[in-house]
Amino acid sequence: MKTWDIFCRVVDNYGDIGVSWRLARQLANEHQLAVRLWVDELAALQHIWPATKLEQQQQLAGVTVCVWSKEFQVDYIADVVIEAFACHIPESYIAAMLLVKPSPIWLNVEYLSAESWVEDCHQLSSINPQNGLRKTFYFPGFSEKTGGLLRERDLFMQRNRFMVSTARAAFLTRIGAPDSHENRVIISLFSYENTAIASLLLAWSESPVAVLCLVPAGKALVSVNRFFNAGLQVGDGCTRGALRLQVIPFLTQVDYDHLLWACDINFVRGEDSFVRAQWAAKPCLWHIYPQEDEAHLVKLKAFLEKYTYGADSELASLINQLSLAWNQGADCSQLWANLFSRYADWREHSQVWCKNLGSAPDLAANLVLFCQKIL
């Protein structure tokens, strides 16, 4: 079980490659495994890991990164094969798997969800009637009945060291945050386009507390520019009332963790940034990827039920109300004011939530243990 292949197709944005790349690095660096990451779009990896070169094969952070092209060829079959998010590995690879005895462990690592059915489907297997190969479905999640969440061994130590040193101020200066950020509530806004952004910006501009909003270059900037009737780009800033908004560069995975740690409240999107926000132990609001028939709201409500467990009824209600309004593009002005009035309690709840989640084994460790048990 020394060699692992991870296959990733970049479907949209950076969630697929973000999760796959974190998993590959952790398996290689913490579990001393020989990991190959097959990815069909190197440019997406380059955005979050700038050392990436547009080459067919390269070594990055202990991982062998290979281009998954139409002319796919492979020189060996790994002991463990992961298709990230049901991306369907190449037929030629499957054909080669049939020649290996014993057969490789084949896992489909699925999307993260807090829905109850995930616990029932986690680690279920199916055998392909045509070739006899067994595939096991592996679900990340928030309970001990799932595969857990990605979390490096020293992540909390790194976070705590960052917060008590001069690193936080130095980081904010490096990404272009104004020097006068000391007495402001700092909010990161990383989301998809959302009509609700205008109502939040209005609420922050009329806030009794000074607000610094940091917006990484990306989809949210379209809605921001619409509100300000401007063409803000990286490095630009804008002030309205109590709000100072600053557009910062799209960040690497390492720097994005730093942003989450440096801010007081984080708006996050997708899956990768969403999980990292949990480990920041800061209040956060999730902009879940919109799906047809509002299926994403079912997923959101399932998470909120877990996330607000243990909070008092008022705080839980306020978090739920704002989260749903935010994800439905509704007016969030008053809902934001209501929840922010309970900021200290929200922050404490976020810390408790992070501590409880962090007491469980992480996804990479669970995957390794699962494969060892199979062998």
Question: Read out DSSP for 174-185?
Answer: HTT--GGGTTSE
245 near 238, Cβ under 8 Å?
yes
Distance CA 181, CA 202 (A): 19
Helix (H) / strand (E) element for 204: namely: helix 197-205
Distance CA 303, CA 175 (A): 31
122 and 17 in a common domain? yes
Distance CA 175, CA 172 (A): 5
Distance CA 145, CA 161 (A): 32
pLDDT at 185: 97
Q: Is 90 helix (H, G, I), strand (E, B) or coil?
A: coil
- Judge if the upstream peptide bond of residue 102 is cis by omega within 30 degrees of 0: yes
pLDDT at 180: 73
Helix (H) / strand (E) element for 135: namely: strand 134-138
275 and 205 in a common domain? yes
242 and 142 in a common domain? no
What count of residues does the chain have? 375
- State pTM to two decimals: 0.95
Helix (H) / strand (E) element for 117: namely: helix 117-121
Q: Is 361 helix (H, G, I), strand (E, B) or coil?
A: coil
> What is the full per-residue pLDDT of the chain (375 aa) written as tens digits?
799 999 999 987 678 999 999 999 999 999 999 999 999 999 999 999 999 999 999 999 999 999 999 889 899 999 999 999 999 999 999 999 999 999 999 999 999 999 999 999 999 999 988 889 999 999 999 999 999 999 999 999 999 999 987 999 999 999 999 877 778 999 999 999 999 999 999 999 999 999 999 999 999 999 999 999 999 999 999 999 999 999 999 999 999 999 999 999 999 998 999 999 999 999 999 999 888 888 899 999 999 999 999 999 999 999 999 999 999 999 999 999 999 999 999 999 999 999 999 999 999 999 999 999 988
| Options 16, 40, 255, 272, the catalytic residue | 16
pLDDT at 13: 67
155 near 163, Cβ under 8 Å?
no
Based on the residue annotation, tell me whether 119 is a catalytic residue of this protein.
Answer: no
Phi first, then psi: give them for residue 57, nearest 5 degrees.
-150, 140
208 and 65 in a common domain? no
**Mean pLDDT, the chain, whole residue set:** 95
133 and 9 in a common domain? yes
Distance CA 313, CA 341 (A): 15
314 and 369 in a common domain? no
275 and 246 in a common domain? yes
pLDDT at 176: 94
pLDDT at 130: 84
Q: For residue range 3-15, what is the model confidence (pLDDT) as tens digits?
A: 999 999 998 767 8
Question: Which among 252, 310, 299 has a CA at the least distance from the CA of 271?
Answer: 299
Based on the residue annotation, tell me whether 182 is a catalytic residue of this protein.
Answer: no
Query: What is the domain count for the chain?
Result: 2
Structural domain boundaries enclosing 76: 3-148+361-374
| Options 83, 257, 271, 272, the catalytic residue | 271
pLDDT at 151: 98
pLDDT at 214: 98
56 and 111 in a common domain? yes
The enclosing domain of 235 has a CATH number of 3.40.50.2000
166 and 284 in a common domain? yes
pLDDT at 70: 87
Distance CA 26, CA 153 (A): 9
335 and 257 in a common domain? yes
368 and 325 in a common domain? no
133 and 186 in a common domain? no
Question: Which among 91, 159, 276, 198 has a CA at the least distance from the CA of 83?
Answer: 91
Beta bridge partners, 64, equal 36, 59
Token pair for residue 359? Answer: 């007491």
How far is CA 338 from each of CA 37, 88, 149, 197, 343, rounded to the nearest angstrom? 45, 46, 31, 17, 9
